[in-house]
């Protein structure tokens, strides 16, 4: 079963985020707290949304998908960025990942989203093979860019003043 996440799922989602980070060999980078995730998912202005995959027999969470809207200047429409897709190892192969992706694809269709995008680590062959089985298009000509830490701060320090263009003064 796939359902929308509730505020009561935050601790379980954080636990699965840590499991995903361990799988992706990046535990030290998974620093989000329960409070931060609670605010991001259920605050006054949600930054992201989540679905939970539950075991059909026990009802226990076995996976999650966390996503947020994006916007394409080329299509003039919103789309969806899948930040995390995770299914616990003992539940893999049970259709939970495919069900989560199908639920998100249906949400895209209902919402008029023309794009559904995400990243996958180049070394993660089992996941890449899973995506290939769904006819996912791989955009090899695009590179992910990231600016963080000190380089982000250094570039921010060079920013010019930004004028509020909405005032009529």
Each residue's pLDDT tens digit, 44-65: 999 999 999 999 999 999 999 9
Distances (CA, A) of 99 to 55, 127, 139, 157: 12, 15, 23, 45
Q: Which of 58, 67, 64 is nearest to 113 (CA)?
A: 67
From the candidates 49, 64, 86, 131, which is the catalytic residue? 131
Q: Which of 90, 104, 128 is nearest to 51 (CA)?
A: 104
Kindly report the CATH number assigned to the domain that includes residue 88.
3.40.630.30
Work out the angle at residue 32's Cα, subtended by the Cα atoms of residues 28 and 33, and round it to the nearest 5 degrees. Answer: 120
For residue 107, give its domain range.
2-157
Per-residue pLDDT of 92-145, as tens digits, reads 999 999 999 999 999 999 999 999 999 999 999 999 999 999 999 999 999 889
Bridge partners, residue 118, by sequence: 82
Q: Clarify whether 49 is annotated catalytic.
A: no
Q: Does residue 168 form part of some domain?
A: no
Q: Does residue 166 form part of some domain?
A: no
Q: Which of 61, 66, 126 is nearest to 96 (CA)?
A: 61
């Amino acid at each position: 079963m796939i359902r929308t996440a509730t505020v009561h799922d935050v601790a379980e989602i954080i636990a699965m985020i840590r499991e995903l980070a361990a799988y992706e060999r990046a535990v030290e980078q998974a620093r989000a707290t329960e409070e931060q995730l609670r605010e991001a998912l259920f605050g006054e202005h949600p930054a992201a949304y989540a679905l939970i995959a539950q075991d059909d027999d026990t009802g226990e969470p076995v996976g999650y998908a966390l996503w947020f809207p994006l916007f394409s200047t080329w299509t003039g429409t919103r789309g969806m960025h899948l930040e995390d897709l995770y299914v616990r190892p003992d539940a893999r192969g049970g259709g939970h990942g495919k069900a989560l992706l199908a639920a998100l694809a249906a949400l895209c269709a209902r919402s008029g989203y023309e794009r559904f995008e995400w990243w996958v680590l180049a070394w993660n062959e089992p996941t890449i093979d899973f995506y290939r089985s769904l006819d996912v298009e791989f955009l090899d000509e695009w590179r992910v860019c990231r600016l963080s830490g000190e380089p982000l701060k250094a570039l921010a320090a060079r920013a010019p003043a930004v004028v509020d263009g909405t005032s009529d003064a």
